[in-house]
Amino acid sequence: MAKKLEFPKNFLWGGATAANQIEGAYDVDGKTLSLLEMIPYVELKDRTDIEASRKLTKQDILDSIDNKKGLHYPKRFGNDFYNRYKEDIRLFKEAGLKVFRMSVAWTRIFPNGNDEKPNATGMSFYKNVFEECKAQGLEVMLTINHFDLPFWVIQKGLTWRDKELSDCYLRFAKLLMDEFNGYVKYWLPFNEINLGVLITRQFSDKEQEGGVMQKILSSYGDLHKQFVAQAKVVEYSKKYPHIKVGCMVADTTSYPIDCNPINVLENQRMEHMKKFFYYDVMVKGEYPGYALRMFKEYGVEINKEAGDDELLKKFPVEFISFSYYMSGTVSKETGQMTEGNILKVGKNPFLKATEWGWQIDPMGLRYCLNQLWDMYRVPLFISENGIGVSEVLNDNNTVEDDYRIEYLGQHFEQMSEAIKDGVNLFGYTMWTPIDVVSAGSNEMSKRYGMIFVDYDDYHRGTGDRFLKKSYKWFQNFMKTKEI
Ligand code: P53
């Protein structure tokens, strides 16, 4: 029996993507390389062992420039959105989407970082995409930087601690706001700002000796500069009162493995450092006490400059956006771990996981929404949610992806429950309406789309687009709100 869900009339239903996972065309029209385009595809024997594809030396990165080893670098090719954006945007519109989340490749706009003028061809590509969205009646949500750090950052030996990098970033962000504020209402300065720093288990006492921990601790200094840069983007956005700037955090709901207070406390500590710390700085504009204590105990230097605290306080984000794919468990002892990509989480015997070890938990989304609304009282937006599955086209040129229909329907149901609980959730962009190159494992095989793209892991195929069963289901859901 179909079940009708309730959503506010103006709820923003949409789809999310990122430049480095869709565009391709990595070396045309003046674009230079980004670091992500220098990471080769590695066939994984065990799909849950994502780290195996990430062991790269600096030499590997340098060798990729002229591809000495003849490897395949998937993010150079994406899904060919650069050439097919018109068709894709039309398909998004026909699916019933009202908002399209995308990002800008920094290397298309400032190929060398400090170029005197922005690259005109790069700017006009995005203008064309926005024009197309406008023509199709799609609102745009724009991520200014979605993980794709330009290679010139590495060449110049810059980190976020260097003023030169935040100056370049701010010049880039301001240019985009000046040029495109008429097209883009929702702005996200950084994608998943927490992923680079806090890799969950690293904060359990057991893993606190050793190099990785040191690396993570010292990256809090870099992160502070990103927080400040983000606040400056918010400050600048006030020039255009019709636009809104939000934060973007990779969220996972986490449960204590049992009711042993030791594990409950450990879970709270993990939640603090994995997520709430970030929201606290970006929404409340202050570093929470537990973070300051941790910094003190581990000797973390933030290197705040005069005026930083005031800036963070004065220019918090106007809404919270977050990605939600899974939940996990936490125990004081390591417990059983699933290798859910970069975010390692403990297993939950009540949940099923995807082939990649991501535990599916729609109710965890309702829990998460309530938590965020209770704590922050700013409008919430789910900027990513979806299921990655390895799929092939069947003889009828489609994919019978009932598992995706089930995944989406169950998450939508919990969103509508959260709204009934009183949560101010104003939109949702699914990851992703169309198959893209995976962020974590660089494969095409990990497909999230309602639209199938005919490329394999080595970019072999026609690139043609085919509609999966979920596309028709979603189209109908947009009309009926029935699951
Ligand atoms: P892929 C890990 C955990 C949660 C979200 O990821 C993550 C990651 C990174 O792998 O990233 C977001 O493609 C990210 C998207 C990404 C999507 O999740 O590894 O913002 O770029 O594609 C899904 O399956």
**Residues comprising the chain, all counted:** 483
Does the beta carbon of 342 lie inside 6 Å of ligand 1?
yes
Q: If you take atom 14 of ligand 1, which residue's CA is the nearest one? A: 439
Q: How far is the CA of 198 from the centre of ligand 1 (A)?
A: 15
- Domains of the chain, residue spans: 12-480
Across the strands, what pairs with 16?
Answer: 101, 431
**Distance (Å, whole) CA 114 – CA 112:** 6
Q: What residues are annotated to the active site?
A: 384
Per-residue pLDDT at 198 = 45
Q: If you take atom 24 of ligand 1, which residue's CA is the nearest one? A: 438
Per-residue pLDDT at 62 = 86
Per-residue pLDDT at 55 = 63
- Of all atoms in ligand 1, which is nearest to the CA of residue 18? 21
Q: How far is the CA of 77 from the centre of ligand 1 (A)?
A: 18
Q: pTM, whole model, 2 decimals?
A: 0.95
Which among 197, 278, 323 is the best mutation to test ligand 1's pocket, defined by most ligand atoms within 8 Å of the CB?
Answer: 323
Does the beta carbon of 360 lie inside 6 Å of ligand 1?
no
Does the beta carbon of 385 lie inside 6 Å of ligand 1?
no
pLDDT tens for the 483 residues of the chain, in order: 799 999 999 999 999 999 999 999 999 999 999 989 998 998 877 777 666 556 667 788 888 999 988 999 999 999 999 999 999 999 999 999 999 999 999 999 999 999 999 999 999 999 999 999 999 999 999 999 999 999 999 889 888 888 999 999 999 999 999 999 999 999 999 999 988 654 333 333 444 444 556 667 777 888 999 999 999 999 999 999 999 999 999 999 999 999 999 999 989 988 998 899 999 999 999 999 999 998 998 888 898 999 999 999 999 999 999 999 999 999 887 544 444 434 567 899 999 999 999 999 999 999 999 999 999 999 999 999 999 999 999 999 999 999 999 999 999 999 999 999 999 999 999 999 999 999 988 999 999 999 999 999 999 999 999 999 999 999 999 999 999
Does the beta carbon of 188 lie inside 6 Å of ligand 1?
no
Omega before 252 within 30 of 0, i.e. cis: no
Q: Which CATH class is domain 12-480?
A: alpha beta
Per-residue pLDDT at 50 = 62
Per-residue pLDDT at 204 = 37
Q: How far is the CA of 41 from the centre of ligand 1 (A)?
A: 16
Q: How far is the CA of 97 from the centre of ligand 1 (A)?
A: 21
Q: If you take atom 10 of ligand 1, which residue's CA is the nearest one? A: 440
Q: How far is the CA of 192 from the centre of ligand 1 (A)?
A: 9
**Distance (Å, whole) CA 34 – CA 20:** 9
Q: How far is the CA of 355 from the centre of ligand 1 (A)?
A: 15
Does the beta carbon of 192 lie inside 6 Å of ligand 1?
yes
Q: If you take atom 22 of ligand 1, which residue's CA is the nearest one? A: 439
Per-residue pLDDT at 48 = 72
Does the beta carbon of 18 lie inside 6 Å of ligand 1?
yes
Query: What is the 3 state secondary structure string of the chain?
Result: CCCECCCCCCCEEEEECCHHHHCCCCCCCCCCCEHHHHCCCCCCCCCCCHHHHHCCCHHHHHHCCCCCCCCCCHHHCCCCHHHHHHHHHHHHHHHCCCEEEEECCHHHHCCCCCCCCCCHHHHHHHHHHHHHHHHCCCEEEEEEECCCCEHHHHHCCCCCCCHHHHHHHHHHHHHHHHHHCCCEEEEEEECCCCCCCCCHHHHCHHHCCCHHHHHHHHHHHHHHHHHHHHHHHHHHHCCCCCCEEEEEEEEEEEEECCCCHHHHHHHHHHHHHHHHHHHHHHHHCCCCHHHHHHHHHHCCCCCCCCCHHHHHHHCCCCEEEEEEEEEEEECCCCCCEECCCCCCEECCCCCCECCCCCECCHHHHHHHHHHHHHHHCCCEEEEECCCCECCCCCCCCCCCCHHHHHHHHHHHHHHHHHHHCCCCEEEEEEECCECCCCCCCCCCCCECCCEEECCCCCCCCCCCEEECHHHHHHHHHHHHCEC
Across the strands, what pairs with 189?
Answer: none
**Distance (Å, whole) CA 182 – CA 236:** 15
Does the beta carbon of 384 lie inside 6 Å of ligand 1?
yes
**Distance (Å, whole) CA 168 – CA 162:** 10
Does the beta carbon of 126 lie inside 6 Å of ligand 1?
no
